A and B are shown apart, each in its own frame.
Chain A
């Protein structure tokens, strides 16, 4: 190396250059390769790579920009205030609208053109309330076959306020008479 350094120094005798051509070639090759690498790298690596860490920073924004499917409870309650009032009187007040009605962000954006599908209470209620020994003991559960005999749940229960009210005691009594000893409630 000492020799190469001397050779590159212009103050030295020019005769020293006669054996250094191979070194100059090597240096030129290295520089060309380096430039090619830098050019390629800037072309290939996205600008935001390394913004936050060893990944493409723009990917964070892209993940955040996706459209939503569930509008969220607040969006529903902004319009359906009558349902909110109903729900407040029952235990289902804690449940978000879209837990039963499904994803309705499109309906929230354009209520007139997208209408929510009609729900089948026989399937929907059973998903939560069908008896299962793994469910918490305090949770209201029924064996739907025994409890209603296949009748749709909303025949007796109003889903937004599921408890059968005292004002409709007669209906309740009738329902009980129809299915004696089967409405055991918790299991």
Chain B
């Protein structure tokens, strides 16, 4: 093929686009990561949470979460001494910009960060009709965007309200426990930025992980244990009024 001026002009933009990809490099693989050697979970220390919203912002930035949807969010509880079984819960914009001063005075006030509980026996994966959501061998519940039909069964099935439909892709979306980070040896974006250490990623299959000592020595709960979902987000110091 003769390289005429016309052909060269056609080829140049294509070459420029290709070069951009060469420069960007291939996504970083994780060759040393073994699926069977991990069982991921998270520890949330409620008495340490200051409700700053750093985790919510970091999650949105790390995962391109659409505005108005939250893969993780913070709730502020106000529990009156008179009605401890009827807490007032608020979460303005998921707590992404923190919280305004409390209107209610007195009673008990605290923050509860929430996210996907990465259940071992997750209801959401059980209802998926096409196998688009699943528990990975290392214990993370993920969504396969290319397989999801957007039928919303899983959104209804999750007892923790952790799923939503991405309006752009029309597929189910949720916390991935920053799977692209934890498989590279990093912690999740929310744990990375938490200023008080209220959120900590934990690997239950790693015998050296401090989670084991913590679980032995503290009163730790999971959300809605009566649902028997095998939730793996552990809450330390959680009040009985938390739902």
Contact of B131 among A54, A73, A103, A130 (CB under 8 A): A54
Asked if A39 is an interface residue, CB under 8 A from chain B, the answer is no
- Interface centre among A98, A135, A139, by most chain B C-beta atoms within 10 angstroms, is A135
| Bound complex: CA A140 to CA B129 (Å) | 50
Assess the B187–A69 pair: CB atoms within 8 A.
Answer: no
The A interface, classified by DSSP as helix, strand, loop or mixed, is loop
| Bound complex: CA A63 to CA B146 (Å) | 11
Q: Which residue of A lies closest to B30 (CB)?
A: A64
Given contacts A63-B176, A66-B180, A132-B102, contact A99 B47 (CB under 8 A): no
The B interface, classified by DSSP as helix, strand, loop or mixed, is loop
Asked if B210 is an interface residue, CB under 8 A from chain A, the answer is no
Assess the A68–B181 pair: CB atoms within 8 A.
Answer: yes
Can you list, as one digit per residue, whether each of B149-185 has a CB less than 8 Å from chain A (1) or not (0)?
Answer: 0000000000000000000000000001001110110
Chain B residues 179 to 224 lying within 8 A of chain A, measured CB to CB, are 179-181, 183-184, 186-187, 189, 192-197
Given contacts A55-B144, A134-B110, contact A102 B61 (CB under 8 A): yes
Asked if A53 is an interface residue, CB under 8 A from chain B, the answer is yes
Asked if B242 is an interface residue, CB under 8 A from chain A, the answer is no
In the A-B complex, list the 7 residue pairs whose CB atoms are closest, starting with the nearest: A134-B109, A55-B134, A59-B144, A66-B180, A99-B193, A64-B183, A55-B131
Identify the A interface with B (CB < 8 A): 49, 52-56, 59-60, 62-70, 72-73, 94-96, 98-99, 102-103, 126-128, 130-136, 139
Identify the B interface with A (CB < 8 A): 27-30, 33, 35, 47-54, 58, 61-62, 76-78, 97-99, 101-102, 105, 109-111, 131-137, 142, 144, 146-147, 176, 179-181, 183-184, 186-187, 189, 192-197
